[in-house]
Amino acid sequence: MSTLKERLHADVVVHMKDHDKVALNTVRNVLGEIETREKAGKEPVELNDAEITTMLQKEAHKRRETAALYTDAGEADRAAAEIAEAEVIETYLPEPLSAADVEAIVDGAIADMRAAGQELSLSHMSAVMKPVSEKVAGRFDGKAVSDIVRQRLT
């Protein structure tokens, strides 16, 4: 079992003892989603922390979008409930990186490849993205990372 999944299971007990219904229901829903994804498909799989983090990011994003829809519809109570759930989920996400941090990681990866004697162009984008994505995983928007790499290679 992954450490993030273990933490979620442990926090169910904590939220039950604290009588925190919002956090308890949110964590239970997330655990249910994890179990569903693990059992979906021909063979059951065990999600690792990176996959669970990606799933948590999507779940938090969905709740924020739903909150915006409720706000536009004049349903402030429902919007507040969705935001509260998103905030619970976000406590399990790693600290996000700043744009400057990501740019430094991209520049470092490009410098390493150039030091190895490679002349880089836009056609080497996937080669640069691989080490960068491993370091950034789940802490910065993937499209924005791709844009930064593309900008540096042109």
Where among 90, 108, 123 does a domain terminate? 90
pTM greater than 0.75 (yes/no): no
Where among 69, 90, 111 does a domain terminate? 90
Where among 90, 110, 134 does a domain terminate? 90
Rg (Cα) of the chain, in Å, rounded? 19
Pair 105, 59 in one domain: no
Pair 103, 77 in one domain: no
Model confidence pLDDT, tens digit, residues 6-50: 999 999 999 999 999 999 999 999 999 999 999 988 888 898 888
Model confidence pLDDT, tens digit, residues 84-132: 999 999 999 888 888 899 999 999 988 888 888 877 778 888 888 888 8
82: left (phi over 0), alpha (psi -120 to 50) or beta: alpha
Pair 85, 22 in one domain: yes
**CATH number, domain with residue 140:** 1.10.10
**CATH number, domain with residue 37:** 1.10.1510.10
Structural domains counted in the chain: 2
Pair 7, 83 in one domain: yes
Range of the domain at 33: 3-90
Residue 48, CA distances (Å) to 13, 19, 125 in order: 22, 29, 26
In sequence order, which residues have a C-beta less than 8 Å from that of residue 67 and are 6 or more positions away?
A: 78, 79, 80, 82, 83, 86
